[in-house]
Every structure is written in C-alpha cells, then in structure tokens.
Chains A and B, each alone.
Chain A
Amino acid sequence: MQSSSLPSTAGIGFKSQHFDDLAHPGAVSWLEIHAENYMVEGGPRLAMLDELRARFPISVHGVGLSIGGEGPLDPAHLGRLKRLIERVRPAQFSEHLAWSTHEGAYFSDLLPLPYTPDTLERVAAHVDEVQQRLGLCMLLENPSSYLVFEESTLSETEFLAEVARRTGCRLLLDINNVFISASNLGTSAQAYLADYPVDLVGEIHLAGYAEEDDGQGGPLLIDTHGAPVADPVWALYADVIARIGPRPTLIEWDNEVPDFPTLEAEAARAAQLMARRRAA
C-alpha cells in the first residue's frame, strides 16, 4: 500500500480565490483539497487542480464517505473517489470518523456516532474497504463533539487506536477538534492528547472556532473553520510537536475565507513552531 509522502511542513486548504497568490506561496508548501469539490467531469476546477498538482504535494481530504454510517459505503462514491485519486495521485488521503449519509440522503455535515464494540467493528470494516478499493493507507480524523452518546462504552482515543490497529490506517489529529470537544464535553484536552496514539499521526489540522452560548450559562464552541487558530489550540499544537516532532500541518479556513497573506501568516506560525522543534 502507498504510504504518505506529504512533507512535515505547513499547508493550507486550497480556495480558488487564492490560486494567483500561490505563485508566491511563502510558508505554504502543500495544499489540501476537499475530494467532493472536484468530482466533476471537466472544466475550470479540474484544470486548476491539474496545475496545482504539478507544483505542490496535494492531500485529498474526503468529507462524504460516511465511514461511520450504519449503512454500507456507497460504491458509486468510492468509484468517484478512486477516479479522482488516480487523476491527482495525492501524497495522502484522509477522511472522518463521522457519518453524513443515511438511506441515500446526504446531510453535508460530519455527524457523530457512539463509540461501542459494534460501531468499532463497522468503522474498521469501512476503513478496510476504503483502503482496499483505493489501494492506499488512509488517515482517519477525530471529530468535533457537541454532545454525549449515553450508550458509548469506549473513549474516542481507544476507539481510534483500535480502528488503526485493526486496519493499519493512520490518524489525522485535528487539534482544534480536540480542544472544542474537551470544552463542550467538560473533559481535558491535555488528557485526551496524553491518551491519543500520537505515533500514528500522519497529519495535523489546525482551525478556528466560534463561541456560542450553551443555553446554561457556559460556552458552546462551534467548529466553524471561519476564524484564526485560537491561542489555546496553538499551545496544544506546540506541546504535540515538542512531543512527536514536526508533522504535516494544515491550516483549515473554509468559511469567511481571509486574504492569502492572513492565511499564509497562520501557516508561517505553524512552520516556525516546527522549525523551533527541529532546532531544539
């Protein structure tokens, strides 16, 4: 199976409005795309992608496989994904520990699942199927959580570690999601990261969140990807990098997308933290 060739440097989620800016990419040394946005027959989107892939390592990030779904994976969608991956030949492919499709209806959101032996078996079978069909070793990303499933019997870190052990997949550690979930569920992000199987991390995501009222006088953090990375998330990131060394690190900014210099500055901050670790 093909393994990752994404560099342990900073990348950004590609937005078409930044195409011209990428002539001078600064600290941005690779790009991530959402697979589903490029599942078209032809035209300017694919032409842009063809140009970018000649200049940057590309990470393909899926949002629609519904790996955590109760139903079977959609063979048509897997087929579209395989065609895209054959075209782009990405350095890496990742997807989410979440579901988004039920009985054929797609909800365009990453929906949560309880962590039980049954859901573990299903997710591991789906990851196996994806890896077989695509002929690669995928990365699985931890979700952001807003609520607790009373039926869960496993912790998220146990769940992810066991899926990886059974399937050989690697992990995408979204540190913003770790922070959001810990805040929303009243747990400790540090404790989560202490339990997390960090040796399996093939990529890190950093993003910004929004703070709302939880209706009970406390904050409810929403994973908006619409703001700068927050200071406590940078602090957790610095801790992780100090522990495991540099890893491919993505700045995700999908809503209220800023101008390129603002995005590049976030990438530069991640790159500096990695450089400091290399020098230490």
Chain B
Amino acid sequence: MSGQGAFAGALLTPEAPRPAHLSDPSGTRATRRFDVYRNNVTVALTEALAAAFPVVQRLVGEAYFAAMAREFAQAHPPRSPVMATYGADLPDWIERFPPLAALPYMPEVARIEQARREASQAADAAPLDPRALAGLPPEALAAAHLHPHPAVRVLRSHHPALAIWGRNADRPDLAQSPPGEVLVTRPGLAVKICAAPTGTAKTLQALAQGASLGAALPAGADPSAIFACLFGAGAFAQPGDPET
C-alpha cells in the first residue's frame, strides 16, 4: 500500500493500524499524534453533517448524532471537497439504520433538511409572475408549458415530518401540518417550505418532462389548490431565463 493509502486507510477506521514510519521528535512511534488527524477528520465530517441536518441532530441528541455521523462517514466518506453537498445520501442511510427503525419519521425529516439545503444552493432564477397567465383563456392555459424553478423540490411524507420539522426549526406555523406532500423552493434568496396538496409532486414532475399544464395534472387532483400552492411559493421560473 502507498504511504498515503496507509495513512488514509487509518483515518476513519479506529481498528486499522496507524501507519508506520511516523514518529514524534524523540523518535518514538507517533500514535497520540496520528490521532490528531483521526480526530480532525471525524470532527470535520460530523460538523458538516450537523450543519446540514440540524433538526435530525436536535431530535436524536448531539452525542447520538455524532456517533451516527461517524458510522455514516466511515461507510460514505465525502467524494468531493465541496462539503456544502456532503451527506446527500444521509436520509436514505438513516432509513436503513436499524437503531432508528422505531422512528420512521426520521428519514422524512432528514429529506426535508436535504431538500432545504439543495434549494438554498440551487441556481438562481426569477420566479414566474402569475399575472403573466392571468389573461389567458382556459384552453390556452391548459396548453401552456411552465418551467419548474431550479430550486423546487417536492417530497412525500407518510408521517407528520413537516410538523416535526417545523416544531424544531422555529416554524410554529407548520407545527400542525399533516402527513402528505411538502414543497420546498427558493424564488429569491430565502427558502420557502410549505405543505402541498396531493398531486403536486406528480404535476411538477410531468411539467419538468415537458407536459403542458392541462396534461400535467394527475387524475383526481384539485387543480386550483395545486396551482395556488405552486404559484404562491414561486415554484415556476420565468421562461427563457438563461440560468434555467
């Protein structure tokens, strides 16, 4: 194994032997000193995950989160130096993490936090002004093609994940949100999160794939509720915006 291979292999694995040929100034094998790097790496990765998933951290507690993050980081070290995106697969990992199986809302809360982070970092685009569609006759409206904003994300929750998130993220207005769809977007610089009517996710998905407005609505959905939610949140981008 190369020098850096042995060094790298021992960083995240406490059971791995510390690399050879490292010493302290007295010539003694460096163990305590190598552990400075082990600690730095673990702390840096844990802190990056805690910054992205503060509500999960609050729900499980700091010590539990740190232990969980260490286990996650050992299995999934970052594949990029951009720590702003590290941990995108943490929600899926939590879903398969046996010790949290009794808290099935936890992966859903983590997905809200991940969507929030993605929305915060997505490309900027001016939201579509709903007045642009105001004068259109119904058939022209049904034929219109709208572009979902680059920051928009819709999640489906089977548990009251949005309510739990709201109670722990200083958003008491969301504290009674029922299970169901959750819309996350960022029409300006501030991320918006709200409960969305059933069918919102399917509508946006169809629009993103090029369907017209009329064709995008799933059967049985409430069109006026869905459009009120999407336009209210600024979930569409202006057409022809160079950044979309």
Contact (Cβ within 8 A) B82 A43? no
- Chain A neighbourhood of B22, CB < 8 A: 147-150
In Å, the complex CA distance between A143 and B22 comes to: 16
Q: Is B225 an interface residue (CB 8 A)?
A: no
Q: Is A105 an interface residue (CB 8 A)?
A: yes
Nearest Cβ on chain A to B214's Cβ, whole angstroms = 31
Q: Is B243 an interface residue (CB 8 A)?
A: yes
In Å, the complex CA distance between A148 and B24 comes to: 6
Nearest Cβ on chain A to B148's Cβ, whole angstroms = 15
Are A105 and B121 CB-contacts (below 8 A) given A70-B2, A147-B34? no
- Chain A neighbourhood of B44, CB < 8 A: 107-109
Convert B68-108 into 0s and 1s, putting 1 for each residue whose CB lies closer than 8 angstroms to a CB of A: 00000000011111111100000000000000000000000
Contact (Cβ within 8 A) B84 A39? yes
Are A150 and B77 CB-contacts (below 8 A) given A42-B124, A47-B189, A109-B40? no
User: Which of A4-12, A96-104, A127-135, A267-275 contacts its partner?
Assistant: A96-104
Nearest Cβ on chain A to B151's Cβ, whole angstroms = 8
Are A214 and B24 CB-contacts (below 8 A) given A100-B81, A102-B4, A108-B48? yes
Residues of A within 8 Å of B, CB-based: how many?
A: 50
Q: Is A15 an interface residue (CB 8 A)?
A: no
Interface centre among B5, B8, B119 (most CB of A within 10 A): B8
Q: Is B204 an interface residue (CB 8 A)?
A: no
- Chain A neighbourhood of B40, CB < 8 A: 109
In Å, the complex CA distance between A99 and B7 comes to: 11
Q: Is A41 an interface residue (CB 8 A)?
A: yes
Q: Is A111 an interface residue (CB 8 A)?
A: yes
- Chain B neighbourhood of A47, CB < 8 A: 124, 189
- Chain B neighbourhood of A1, CB < 8 A: none
Interface centre among B4, B7, B78, B121 (most CB of A within 10 A): B4
Q: Is B219 an interface residue (CB 8 A)?
A: no
- Chain B neighbourhood of A148, CB < 8 A: 22-25, 30
In Å, the complex CA distance between A39 and B83 comes to: 9
- Chain A neighbourhood of B122, CB < 8 A: 41-43
Contact (Cβ within 8 A) B124 A186? no
Residues of B within 8 Å of A, CB-based: how many?
A: 49
In Å, the complex CA distance between A104 and B79 comes to: 6
Q: Is B131 an interface residue (CB 8 A)?
A: no
- Chain A neighbourhood of B123, CB < 8 A: 41-42
In Å, the complex CA distance between A47 and B3 comes to: 42
Are A36 and B81 CB-contacts (below 8 A) given A70-B4, A147-B22, A147-B30? yes
Closest to A215 in B: B32
- Chain B neighbourhood of A41, CB < 8 A: 121-124, 150
**Interfacial residues of chain A within 159-181, with CB under 8 A of chain B in the complex:** none
In Å, the complex CA distance between A28 and B178 comes to: 49
Closest to A63 in B: B81
Q: Is A106 an interface residue (CB 8 A)?
A: yes
Are A36 and B25 CB-contacts (below 8 A) given A107-B77, A222-B36? no
Nearest Cβ on chain A to B215's Cβ, whole angstroms = 29
Q: Is A151 an interface residue (CB 8 A)?
A: yes
In Å, the complex CA distance between A147 and B21 comes to: 10
Contact (Cβ within 8 A) A102 B30? no
Q: Is B153 an interface residue (CB 8 A)?
A: no
| Besides A108-B81, A147-B24, 8 new A-B residue pairs in contact (Cβ under 8 A), listed by A number | A64-B81, A70-B2, A102-B8, A106-B81, A111-B7, A114-B3, A147-B34, A216-B28
- Residue pairs across A and B with Cβ atoms less than 8 A apart, 7 shown, are A36-B83, A42-B125, A47-B124, A102-B4, A107-B41, A109-B40, A147-B30
Interface residues of A (CB under 8 A from B): 36-37, 39-47, 63-66, 69-70, 74, 76-77, 80, 99-109, 111, 113-114, 146-151, 184-187, 214-216, 220, 222
Which 7 A-B pairs give the minimum distances between C-beta atoms? Answer: A64-B81, A42-B124, A186-B25, A102-B8, A40-B121, A108-B44, A147-B30
